[in-house]
Amino acid sequence: MTQAVKGKLTNKDKRVAKLLRFLPWLTLLVTLVPLPLGFFLMFLAAATTESAAVYLFLVGVSLGVGVVAGIVVLLLLFLYRKHWFAKLRDRLAADGITGSEVVWFEAELTSSERETRRELTGQNPLLADAYVETLAARLTASRIIAKANRELVRVRRRISQTRNIVLADATSLKSDLEADNRRLSALKLEADARLAEAKARLQAIEAAASRSLTEMETEAMLRRLSATQAHLPLTVEMEKLARESLQEAQSSVNQSDLRSDTIGKPH
C-alpha cells in the first residue's frame, strides 16, 4: 500500500466504520434474545405442567447464559472497534490530518474543543471551517510530537548502549545515532512551535466567535429596546385616551341618573 493510499479514507473504511458502530449492540441482541424467546414460546405451548416448568427453567438458564455471553462478546467487539479506529486514525494521519478528516479524530479532541466545534457549526459556518482546519493542524503537531518523543527514547537508549561498546566500528554507529538524536530534537522543537501556534489560533477563533455572538445578542437586545421605546408614547397615548373615554362614559352615566332622579320627583 502506498503512502498516498495510506492517508486516504476509502469507501470500505466508511462501511466498516458504520458497521462497527452498531454491530456490538446488534450482536448483544442476537446473543441475548433468540434462545430465551424460543423456550418461552415452548413454555406457552406446553401441554403439561411438568414440561412448562422445564421450559420456564430453560428460559432462565438461557437468559443468564445469554447475558454472560453477550457481555463477553460486547467487550471483545468494543476492544476490536477501538483498535480498528486507532489504526484508521494512524493511517489517515500518515500524510497529515486535513479538516475533512477531523471527524475521525473525535477521541483525540478535548471536551472543550468538541463543544466549541459543535457550537460554531450551528452559529458561524465560516469560523467553524477555520476552527476545524486549525484543529487538524493541532492534531498533526500533537501526533508528530508524540512520535518524536517515542523515537527519541529509543535513540537515546541505543546511544547509552553503544557507550559500552569498545569496538572500532562503533564510532560510525554512535555518529549515526547522534545525528538521529539531533534530527528528532529539531523536529520536536518545530512541532512544539507549530502546536503553540495552532493553540493560539484556536483561542483567537474562539474569542472571535464569542465576540461575534456577544455583539449579535447585544444588537438584538438594543433593537428590542428601541422597538419598545418607540411604541411607548403610542401606548401611553392609548392609555390616556382609554382613561378619558372611561371618564366621559362615567360622567354620561351620572348625568343620566341625575336626570332620571329629577324627572321622577313629584312637583
Specify the pLDDT at position 80.
92
Q: What is the number of structural domains in the chain? A: 1
- Per the domain annotation, does 37 fall within a domain? yes
Tell me the mean pLDDT in the region 135-145. 92
Position 28 in a domain = yes
27 found inside a domain: yes
Give the pLDDT confidence of 76-111 residue by residue, as tens digits: 999 999 999 999 998 888 888 888 889 899 888 989
Q: Cell 559500552 belongs to which residue? A: 164
Q: At what angle do helices 125-162 and 111-123 cross, to 10 degrees?
A: 150
Report d(CA 267, CA 264) in Å as an integer.
9
Decide if 119 is inside a domain: no
| Calpha distance 150→142 (Å, rounded) | 13
Length of the chain: 267
Three-class DSSP category at 34: helix
Would you say residue 42 lies in a domain? yes
Q: Are 198 and 141 in contact (CB under 8 A)?
A: yes
Does residue 172 sit within a domain? no
Block residue for cell numbers 427453567: 57
Tens of pLDDT, residue by residue over 167-204, are 556 777 788 888 988 999 999 999 999 999 999 999 88
How far lies 225's CA from each of 217, 218, 238, 239, in Å?
Answer: 12, 10, 20, 20
Q: Is 137 inside any structural domain?
A: no
pLDDT tens digits for range 9-20: 888 888 888 888
Q: Is residue 257 classed as helix, strand or coil in its secondary structure?
A: helix
Query: Is 7 part of a structural domain of the chain?
Result: yes
Supply the pLDDT for residue 83. Answer: 92
As a whole number of Å, the CA-based R_g of the chain is 38
> Domain containing 85: what range?
1-92
Mean pLDDT along residues 105-121: 89
In angstroms, the CA 79 to CA 74 distance is 9
Report the distance separating Cα 235 and Cα 244, nearest Å: 14
